């Protein structure tokens, strides 16, 4: 099986193309389930063709629906980014606070001895600037 160097290269090449094919196949299947405009019967037809004529169906899908696939993927990435930003803002707490609120919090920390006068001045300058 591993008779020569070129046999090894040939095996790696086939493995590479198989992995690329699997990535494309799972991307298409994921896109099928992400697409809400396509009804269930058409999704089932695409899946059946992906099972019985996989390579040709994959190429046809990428050619026929590739642009929509990219748009759906970008829209989902945007929604995920918005959800992440909203979560980070909710966890950060007070990111929409006014400068007066931030200065009051910094003054409370200074009075409690948690921060130094220099740190208070820096926080105050950042809140005002």
Span 75-112, pLDDT tens digits: 999 999 999 998 888 787 655 567 888 889 899 999 99
Q: In this model, does residue 2 exceed pLDDT 70?
A: no
Kindly state the percentage of the chain with pLDDT values over 90: 52
| pLDDT value, residue 96 | 56
Q: pTM for this one? A: 0.58
SS3 assignment for the chain: CCCCHHHHHHHHHHHHHHHHHHHHHHHHHHHHHHCCCCCHHHHHHHHHHHHHCHHHHHHHHHHHHHHHHHHHHHHHHHHHHHHHHHHHHHHHCCCCCCHHHHHHHHHHHHHHCCCCHHHHHHHHHHHHC
Q: In this model, does residue 26 exceed pLDDT 80?
A: yes
Q: Mean pLDDT score of the chain, rounded to an integer?
A: 88
């Amino acid at each position: 099986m591993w008779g020569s160097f070129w046999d090894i290269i040939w095996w790696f090449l086939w493995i590479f193309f198989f992995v690329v094919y699997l990535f494309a196949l799972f991307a298409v299947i994921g896109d099928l389930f992400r697409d809400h405009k396509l009804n269930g019967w058409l999704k089932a037809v695409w899946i059946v063709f992906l099972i019985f004529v996989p390579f040709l169906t994959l190429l046809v899908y990428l050619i026929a629906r590739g642009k929509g696939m990219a748009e759906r993927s970008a829209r989902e990435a945007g929604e995920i980014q918005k959800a992440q930003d909203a979560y980070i803002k909710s966890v950060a707490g007070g990111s929409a606070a006014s400068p007066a609120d931030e200065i009051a919090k910094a003054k409370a920390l200074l009075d409690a001895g948690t921060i130094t006068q220099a740190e208070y001045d820096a926080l105050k300058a950042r809140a005002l600037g």
